[in-house]
């Protein structure tokens, strides 16, 4: 098995709680809600670290982000 | 006003009315302020709250501080403590050091720790186990003579003892009753509180410290800011209640949940979430609204040979503020960051997170071979706002604080030479300044004064209560 | 949660068996080399979000970037190295004072050399129910401190600030 990059490693240890159609999942900006989290409220998939950096924007799960000016694809 | 509106009288005109006033107005502002506030002679002036009498069944910092403000302003505040034990804060902090002796007659080997400071000046110290049936009437006797009470028990405790507002207002309808504690009524009514809990529960600790990106974790403020600040806000409510009573003749109840206070201190944090769903993040020693406006680390300590790590390692931080375009230009010129000036000419560009990382990084690089005072001097000479980050010792040595009387020595009647600030760090008042009369006193030091002189209890009874440890 | 390096290096025919603690506040996201507090073996680690991404790998001959803060030996009755053991653990610089001893400091004089009632025992109160109606008359109540104070005065050790 090829060695994991730090980003891939992080993806492996931070298991997200949700899955959805947001393009955020493929973006370096997303910090997902982790599996088993009691906080925060149930209706977000995670936080966008990018567009309001250094603040975080709550990415709602009912408002699917399909297109985003700040999208930056994760390296595959 | 002159009767005839066509007549001009000097009294009706703005400006000085006499030669003396004229001279006063011509005084340079500096001199004028020095005369007006006359720092160091506070005791020759009247006290704003003289005549107000307050009871305090409080512990630690938060609620004691709410009435310490009254005591510094001249109210007569009686702190009722547990017989022979006193406020837990006397025994709390700082651990094993800085005690002032004695604590109480029966405990000559125990002292009161300096953690008791600032929350208890000028108070009278009474002991009473007021929850035992034998002392209830005595407690009511105090309530009849006093204007108000501050307590911090679990919600409903004093109600159970028939000492809550609904009972006390029957005895004294002018009585102002303050409960101060953790959560107050609501889902967490039985939750106790500490400052750290307030900082955590209301989100303050989550925006203090370095950003996650910088490897930071949420951080509590070292000092008990929420306790001190909650105390101040209660004092505001008390003063408002006193004013209201002056108009209506009626007392009132104040219920104060400490964990609310940090939300007030958090400014735009919550509204920003409400409007945009943005969760504010901590940003270390920088500022998310202004840049450059932060604290940078210099390469060399001002005291490299000092014994104390606070001096040896920490005397390296400087606060810098140059967020206006002209100032930022000057900062860039003097530090050789002209390319950064070109890049971040407008404030909305340089306030962005990435820009800040670059700007402060470059600043710290520039300061790498300089000491803290060198950096501060270079920037100050260039007309940029910069100050070394001071520690306690340096605050003590600061001319600014000395001249304004913020930090001063008090010859305490019982404990001797004490360095104080508390009341003198709350702004100056011309006519009725705050003052510190005594730092604090031992447990029960004023028992005779209160029981005999104010309540008329005979000495033999006081002695009997004392022997039974009721007081 | 705290990751560890359990050093199994063989020293003189015996396993080192020392647990070097990687305090999360420091090592949460960290890459570099760290030495075992007991045997000095240098390990390379790379931690991401508190997880060990790479290592610990031995790096013989390299200079360590850092020392652990604390280490102990479970098979040796938990004998341990507390913070600040020269060459083994790194110093802990957060102590409020360099000379903090943990026992009460008996202070007779303030930093500017005037008497302060910071020692025990003190004379008891002068009356009913623990009251303290008088001022602290140091000359009367503690003549020896008064004497010391006079000497300080004459030696010019009493200052205004
Ligand atoms: S930058 Fe855009 S795509 Fe990326 S996480 Fe943020 S909102 Fe989603
Ligand atoms: Zn080892």
**CATH superfamily entry for domain B53-264+416-467:** Crotonobetainyl-coa:carnitine coa-transferase; domain 1 (3.40.50.10540)
Q: What residues are paired with C48 via a beta bridge?
A: C51
Q: Which residues of chain B have pLDDT under 50?
A: none
Q: How far is CA B401 from CA B96, B120, B318, in A?
A: 29, 22, 19
Pairing of strands C3-7, C10-11: unpaired
Q: What is the pLDDT of residues B178-205, one digit of tens each?
A: 999 888 888 877 777 788 888 988 899 9
User: Is A35 part of a structural domain of the chain?
Assistant: yes
Band of the pLDDT at C94, cuts 50, 70, 90?
A: low
Burial class of residue B58 (count of CB atoms within 10 Å of its CB; 0-12, 13-18, 19+): buried
Band of the pLDDT at C158, cuts 50, 70, 90?
A: very high
**What domain range is C128 assigned to?**
107-155
Question: Quick one: which of A22, A18, A21 has its CA closest to A33?
Answer: A18
Helices (H), ranges, B308-352: 309-312, 325-335, 338-343, 347-350
pLDDT of the residue at B350: 94
pLDDT of the residue at B23: 76
pLDDT of the residue at C28: 86
Q: Of the candidates C93, C116, C127, which has its C-beta nearest B309's C-beta?
A: C93
Residue of the CA atom closest to atom 7 of ligand 1: A48
Does the pLDDT of residue C133 top 80, yes or no? no
Alpha-carbon gap, residue B369 to B366, rounded angstroms: 7
User: Is C133 part of a structural domain of the chain?
Assistant: yes
User: Is C42 part of a structural domain of the chain?
Assistant: yes
Residue in chain C nearest A8 by alpha carbon:
C53
Backbone angles phi, psi at C116, to 5 degrees: -135, 140
* 3-class DSSP assignment, residue B196: helix
Does the pLDDT of residue C126 top 80, yes or no? no
A49: its two tokens: 């670290």
User: Is C86 part of a structural domain of the chain?
Assistant: no
Does the pLDDT of residue A14 top 90, yes or no? no
Q: How far is CA B138 from CA B142, B170, B177, B329, C34, in A?
A: 7, 16, 18, 70, 67
* 3-class DSSP assignment, residue B222: coil
Pairs of residues, one from chain A and one from chain B, whose beta carbons lie less than 8 Å apart: 31
Question: Quick one: which of B389, B370, B398 has its CA closest to B315?
Answer: B389
Residue in chain A nearest B284 by alpha carbon:
A54
pLDDT of the residue at B193: 77
Chain C interface, best mutation among B223, B416, B467, by max C CB count within 10 A: B416
pLDDT of the residue at C2: 76
User: Is C47 part of a structural domain of the chain?
Assistant: yes
Give the count of domains, chain C.
2
Q: Indicate yes or no: CB of A14 within 8 angstroms of CB of C48.
A: no
A10 lines ligand 1 (CB under 6 A): no
Q: What is the pLDDT of residues A42-72, one digit of tens each?
A: 789 999 999 998 999 999 998 899 999 999 9
Angle, helices B225-248/B62-72, rounded to nearest 10 degrees: 50
pLDDT of the residue at C15: 92
* Cβ-contact B251, B232 below 8 angstroms: no
Backbone angles phi, psi at B464, to 5 degrees: -65, -45
* Cβ-contact B370, B299 below 8 angstroms: yes
Do residue C111 and residue C71 come from a single domain?
Answer: no
User: Is C89 part of a structural domain of the chain?
Assistant: no
User: Is C95 part of a structural domain of the chain?
Assistant: no
Alpha-carbon gap, residue C129 to B453, rounded angstroms: 14
- Domain map (residue ranges) of chain B: 10-37, 53-264+416-467, 293-397
Architecture of the B293-397 domain: 2-Layer Sandwich (3.30)
Does the pLDDT of residue C95 top 70, yes or no? no
Q: What is the pLDDT of residues B82-117, one digit of tens each?
A: 999 899 899 876 665 678 988 888 888 888 988 898
Note the pTM of the prediction, 2 decimals.
Answer: 0.85
Q: Of the candidates B96, B99, B402, which has its C-beta nearest C102's C-beta?
A: B96
**Omega of the bond prior to B438 within 30 degrees of 0, cis?**
no
Pairs of residues, one from chain A and one from chain C, whose beta carbons lie less than 8 Å apart: 12
pLDDT of the residue at B97: 63
């Amino acid at each position: 098995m090829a060695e994991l990059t730090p980003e891939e490693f992080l993806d492996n240890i931070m298991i997200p709680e949700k899955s959805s159609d947001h393009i955020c999942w493929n973006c370096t900006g997303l910090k997902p809600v982790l599996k088993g989290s009691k906080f925060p409220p149930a209706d977000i998939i995670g936080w966008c670290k990018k567009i309001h950096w250094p603040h975080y924007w709550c990415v709602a799960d009912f408002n699917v982000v399909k297109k985003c000016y700040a999208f930056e694809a994760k390296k595959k | 006003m002159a009767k005839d509106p066509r007549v001009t009288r000097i009294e009706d005109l703005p400006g000085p009315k006499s030669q003396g006033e004229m001279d006063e107005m011509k005084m340079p502002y500096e001199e004028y302020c020095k005369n007006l506030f006359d720092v160091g002679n506070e005791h020759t002036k009247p006290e704003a709250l003289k005549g107000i009498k307050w009871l305090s069944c409080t512990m630690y910092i938060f609620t004691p501080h709410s009435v310490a403000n009254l005591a510094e302003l001249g109210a007569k505040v009686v702190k009722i403590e547990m017989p022979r034990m006193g406020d837990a804060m006397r025994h709390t902090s700082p651990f094993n050091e800085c005690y002032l002796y004695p604590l109480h007659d029966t405990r000559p080997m125990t002292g009161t720790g300096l953690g008791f400071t600032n929350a208890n000046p000028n108070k009278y110290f009474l002991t009473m186990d007021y929850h035992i049936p034998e002392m209830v009437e005595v407690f009511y006797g105090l309530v009849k003579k006093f204007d108000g009470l501050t307590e911090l028990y679990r919600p409903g405790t004093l109600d159970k003892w028939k000492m809550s507002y609904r009972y006390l207002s029957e005895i004294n309808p002018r009585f102002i009753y303050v409960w101060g504690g953790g959560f107050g009524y609501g889902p967490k009514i039985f939750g106790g509180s500490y400052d750290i809990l307030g900082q955590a529960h209301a989100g303050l600790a989550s925006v203090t410290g370095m950003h996650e990106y910088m490897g930071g974790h949420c951080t509590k403020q070292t000092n008990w800011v929420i306790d001190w600040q909650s105390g101040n806000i209660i004092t505001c409510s008390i003063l408002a209640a006193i004013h209201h009573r002056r108009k209506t003749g009626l007392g009132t109840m104040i219920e104060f949940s400490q964990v609310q206070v940090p939300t007030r201190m958090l400014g735009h944090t919550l509204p920003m979430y409400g409007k945009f769903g943005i969760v504010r993040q901590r940003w270390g020693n920088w500022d998310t609204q202004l840049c450059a406006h932060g604290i940078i680390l210099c390469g060399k300590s001002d005291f490299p040979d000092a014994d104390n790590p606070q001096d040896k390692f920490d005397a390296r931080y400087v606060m810098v503020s140059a967020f206006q375009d002209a100032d930022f230009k000057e900062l860039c010129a003097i530090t050789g960051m002209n390319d950064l000036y070109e890049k971040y000419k407008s404030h909305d560009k340089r306030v962005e997170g990435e820009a800040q990382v670059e700007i402060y990084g470059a600043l710290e690089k520039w300061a790498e071979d300089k000491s803290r005072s060198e950096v501060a001097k270079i920037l100050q000479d260039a007309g940029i706002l910069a100050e070394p980050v001071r520690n306690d010792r340096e605050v003590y040595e600061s001319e600014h604080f000395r001249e304004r009387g913020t930090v001063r020595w008090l010859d305490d009647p019982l404990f001797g030479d004490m360095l104080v600030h508390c009341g003198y760090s709350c702004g100056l008042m011309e006519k009725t300044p705050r003052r510190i009369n005594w730092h604090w006193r031992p447990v029960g030091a004023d028992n005779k004064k209160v029981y005999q002189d104010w309540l008329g209890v005979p000495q033999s009874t006081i002695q009997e209560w004392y022997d039974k440890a009721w007081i | 949660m705290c990751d560890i390096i359990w050093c199994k290096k063989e020293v003189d025919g015996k396993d080192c068996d020392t647990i070097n603690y990687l305090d999360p506040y420091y090592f949460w996201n960290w890459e570099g080399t760290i030495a075992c507090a007991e045997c000095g073996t240098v390990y390379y680690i790379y931690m991401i979000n508190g997880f060990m991404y790479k290592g610990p790998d031995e790096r013989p001959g390299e200079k360590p970037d850092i020392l652990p803060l604390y280490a102990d030996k479970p098979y040796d009755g938990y004998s341990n190295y507390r913070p600040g053991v020269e060459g083994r653990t790194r110093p802990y610089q957060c102590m409020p004072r360099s000379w903090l001893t943990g026992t009460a400091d008996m202070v007779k004089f303030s930093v500017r050399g005037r008497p302060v009632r910071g020692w025990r025992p003190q004379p008891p109160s002068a009356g009913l129910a623990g009251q303290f109606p008088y001022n602290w008359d140091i000359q009367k109540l503690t003549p020896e401190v008064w004497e010391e104070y006079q000497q300080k005065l004459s030696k010019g050790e009493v200052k205004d600030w």
